[in-house]
Amino acid sequence: MKDIIQVKNISFNYADQPLLFDNLSLNVHEGEWLALIGQNGSGKSTLARLIDGLNVLKQGQIIVDGLLVNDENILDVRNKIGMVFQNPEDQFVGATVEDDVAFGLENRQVDRKQMHHIVESSLKNVNMWDFRDRIPANLSGGQKQRVAIAGIVALSPQIIILDEATSMLDPRGRQDILNLVREIKAKNHLTVISITHDIDEAAGADRVVVINHGKKIDEDVPDKIFSNTEQLAQIGLDAPYTSQLIAALKRKGVNLNQQYLDSERLIAWIKQLVSNK
Amino acid sequence: MNNFLFGRYLPGNSWVHQMSPQSKLMLSFYFVIVIFFANNLASYAALAALIAIVILLSGVSILFFLKGIRPLIWLIIFTVALQILFSAGGTVLWKWGPFSVTNLSLINGGFIFIRFLLIIMISTVLTLTTTPLAIADGVQTVLKPLKKVKFPVDTLALMLSIALRFVPTLMDEMETILNAQRSRGVDFGSGSLKHRVQAAVPLLVPLFTGAINHAENLSTAMEARGFSDSEHRSKYRIYRWQLKDTVSWLVFLLVGGLVLYLRK
């Protein structure tokens, strides 16, 4: 599989602060859903900003779909990447839903007729077309995030980065947004990088990268990462719900030789266990 | 928020709603200037008739206009009272110390009252029938000639539309901070002047830092969506000059001419 993003030996620090990344390397494969997990301050969001060229790299290289991230290519790189940020309020540029979705298109000087067409289809895509005249003050957090996603879909990027995009939403809003991104990803063959504290969100990824204090300490499929509950505990992350359930069952004497299963497989296993008795 | 009429747009599809914002802006400006040329009953009557027609055409209930006047009523009464009590000339009807009421001062007071009324009416028509975004757009179109002298019109329009978009957000935030500080025992709006000013600090400081945070996050989000400068952008909305605008201008110019003819 092709690597759509290559992070090569980067070092970075904010002004007057110690090195956050020291010689970090990371690859993102085309078409995968990559979850980036780690504590607060581990450098996840900074990494996303470096990839989008919002922060300037001091050492090393980042290559996005064959383009080196530098001053020259910055607009082309940003054309390939759509970012959804944490706070729904702060990324709403337009006065109304429609204007917000059009913002990115206006920046690319898209023709007006085409723009109206794209805005309509993107808003219908996220089920927000009926809300097109609303102002942000009259929308819920989840709806604002939907609009943010519509604004990105309108630009048809190849990569979507969710920078803790669901952390300020309630559980249902979070699930809705993730399902929506999953749908859009499948439809448009996108690569998704999701930066998250939410272990259950990471459990749905194709691959998980664990970052701690600016260092990549592990990368693997979710099954493997979440089997290693000790490592997760060491860096201050919770084990997913199913792992906790398995551990509790073990304490009660029910033995399963695996540390992690997703909920469907765990249910299947328990059903089998019960029917065998 | 209830008395906050600016930006209180009432959706509709009337003649006035359909006019382009740039011509509405210019018309309001022109109308205010014409008001200051009127100086007798006949000219004021012409302007009042025009405003009445505009209000009818806007399809907005007269109640909203009364609401628009309410916050300014004290200012109007104060100004009119000063005008009546202190202007000299004409036959004296009543006198007490430095105060005097003459027949001329009564007439002048009445005219000032009508002036206030007309100005509030036209600006209320403008804000009730035009979205804030359209007003920002209208400002951009009206100021376009200033580009020749290197005035950053596009940047100003962008700032204006972002400011308008954040008004309700910051209002909500202010409410939250007010309540949060109240719950911690800060007493707003009572006590001596010094006390009140001191009480405003725990409101203003978080509001300012919040605004700076918003600005920082918003600029990052704008950059991530490909914003580089406000000049090289296409526009999603466009407000074209229409036949309705031309007709309205003709009527307004006619009334303006009439006022000039009628004034003494």
User: How far, in Å, CA of B234 to CA of A110, rounded?
Assistant: 6
Task: Point out which residues pair with A59 in neighbouring strands.
Answer: A11
Domain for residue B117, yes or no?
yes
pLDDT tens for each residue of chain B, 264 residues long: 444 554 566 777 777 778 888 999 999 999 999 998 888 888 999 999 999 999 888 888 888 888 778 888 888 899 888 888 877 666 777 777 777 788 888 888 888 899 988 998 888 888 888 887 788 888 888 998 998 998 998 889 888 888 888 888 888 899 999 999 999 988 887 788 888 888 889 999 999 999 999 999 999 999 999 888 777 888 888 888 888 888 989 988 998 899 889 887
DSSP β-ladder status, A81-84 and A159-163: parallel
Cβ pair B214:A106 closer than 8 A: no
Contacts of A84 in chain B (CB under 8 A): none
Burial of B60 (0-12, 13-18, 19+ CB in 10 A): buried
User: How far, in Å, CA of B263 to CA of B37, rounded?
Assistant: 7
Cβ-Cβ contacts under 8 Å for A20 (sequence gap 6 or more): A12, A13, A14, A43, A46, A214
* Residue B224 contacts A where some CB pair is shorter than 8 Å: yes
Domain for residue B235, yes or no?
no
Domain for residue B195, yes or no?
yes
Give yes or no for a contact between A97 and A128, defined as CB atoms under 8 angstroms apart: yes
Residue-wise pLDDT for B170-207, tens only, equals 888 999 999 999 999 888 877 888 888 888 899 999 99
Domain for residue B6, yes or no?
no
Q: Which residue of A has its CA nearest to B236?
A: A112
Q: Are residues B192 and B244 in the same domain?
A: no
Q: Are residues B251 and B159 in the same domain?
A: no
Cβ pair A111:B238 closer than 8 A: no
* Residue A78 contacts B where some CB pair is shorter than 8 Å: yes
Q: What strands lie across the sheet with A59-64, from one edge to the other? A: A21-29, A3-12, A59-64, A67-68
Q: Which residue of B has its CA nearest to A149?
A: B225
**Measuring CA to CA, how many Å separate A120 from each of A52, A105, A159, A189, B162?**
27, 13, 22, 21, 23
DSSP letter for B95, please.
Answer: E
User: How far, in Å, CA of B116 to CA of B108, rounded?
Assistant: 12
What pLDDT, on a 0 to 100 scale, did the predictor assign at position B89? 67
**How many residues belong to chain A?**
277
pLDDT of A163 over the 70 cut: yes
Q: Are residues B61 and B115 in the same domain?
A: yes
Across chain A, the runs of DSSP E, i.e. the strands, are: 3-12, 21-29, 33-37, 59-64, 67-68, 81-84, 159-163, 191-196, 207-212, 215-220
**Measuring CA to CA, how many Å separate A242 from each of A75, A187, A264, B200?**
43, 30, 10, 50
SS3 for A18? coil
What pLDDT, on a 0 to 100 scale, did the predictor assign at position B3? 46
Q: Are residues B125 and B254 in the same domain?
A: yes
% residues pLDDT > 90 (chain A): 31
Structural domain count, chain B: 2
User: How far, in Å, CA of A51 to CA of A74, rounded?
Assistant: 10
Q: Are residues B46 and B111 in the same domain?
A: yes
Contacts of B222 in chain A (CB under 8 A): 93, 103
Mutate to test the interface with B, among A93, A97, A115, A145 (most CBs of B within 10 A): A93
Q: Are residues B254 and B220 in the same domain?
A: no
Q: Are residues B194 and B92 in the same domain?
A: no
DSSP for A64-122 reads: ETTEE-STTTHHHHHHHEEEE-S-GGGG--SSSHHHHHHHHHHHTT--HHHHHHHHHHH
pLDDT: which is higher, B92 or A206: A206
Q: Are residues B134 and B256 in the same domain?
A: yes
What pLDDT, on a 0 to 100 scale, did the predictor assign at position B8? 64
Cβ pair A83:B228 closer than 8 A: no
Mutate to test the interface with B, among A91, A97, A122, A152 (most CBs of B within 10 A): A91
Cβ pair B165:A95 closer than 8 A: yes
**Measuring CA to CA, how many Å separate A160 from each of B17, B95, B175?**
40, 79, 35
DSSP letter for B94, please.
Answer: E
* Residue B164 contacts A where some CB pair is shorter than 8 Å: yes
Q: Are residues B258 and B194 in the same domain?
A: no
Q: Which residue of B has its CA nearest to A151?
A: B225
Domain for residue B4, yes or no?
no
Domain for residue B232, yes or no?
no
User: How far, in Å, CA of A194 to CA of B257, rounded?
Assistant: 66
Q: Which residue of A has its CA nearest to B170?
A: A137
Cβ pair A87:B220 closer than 8 A: no
Q: Which of residues 105-164 of A touch B (CB under 8 A)?
A: 105-112, 115-116, 119, 135-137, 151-152, 155
Domain for residue B130, yes or no?
yes
Q: Are residues B124 and B157 in the same domain?
A: no
Domain interval for residue B192: 153-224
**Measuring CA to CA, how many Å separate B244 from each of B240, B251, B255, B257, B260?**
11, 11, 17, 20, 24
Mutate to test the interface with A, among B8, B139, B236 (most CBs of A within 10 A): B236
SS3 for B183? helix
Cβ pair A96:B223 closer than 8 A: no
Cβ-Cβ contacts under 8 Å for B263 (sequence gap 6 or more): B37, B38, B39, B40, B43
Size of interface A-B (CB pairs under 8 A): 96
- Of A91, A98, A137, which has the smallest distance from its Cβ to B168's Cβ? A137
Q: Are residues B33 and B162 in the same domain?
A: no
- Of B131, B169, B221, which has the smallest distance from its Cβ to A93's Cβ? B221
What pLDDT, on a 0 to 100 scale, did the predictor assign at position A1? 67
**How many residues belong to chain B?**
264
* Residue B32 contacts A where some CB pair is shorter than 8 Å: no
CA distance B8 to chain A (A): 12
Cβ pair B169:A89 closer than 8 A: yes
* Residue B209 contacts A where some CB pair is shorter than 8 Å: no
pLDDT of A67 over the 90 cut: no
Residue-wise pLDDT for A76-90, tens only, equals 899 999 999 998 888
Contacts of B217 in chain A (CB under 8 A): 85, 87, 90-91
What pLDDT, on a 0 to 100 scale, did the predictor assign at position B178? 92
* Residue B155 contacts A where some CB pair is shorter than 8 Å: no
Buried b (16+ CB within 10 A) or exposed e, A169-196: beeebbebbbebbeebbeeeebbbbbbb
Contacts of B213 in chain A (CB under 8 A): 90
What pLDDT, on a 0 to 100 scale, did the predictor assign at position B2? 45
Q: Are residues B73 and B183 in the same domain?
A: no
Angle, CA of A168, A171 and A174, to the nearest 5°? 60
* Residue A96 contacts B where some CB pair is shorter than 8 Å: yes
Angle, CA of B160, B166 and B172, to the nearest 5°? 150
- Of A92, A99, A104, which has the smallest distance from its Cβ to B133's Cβ? A99
User: How far, in Å, CA of A58 to CA of A53, rounded?
Assistant: 12
| Chain centre distance of CA A74 | 21
Domain for residue B231, yes or no?
no
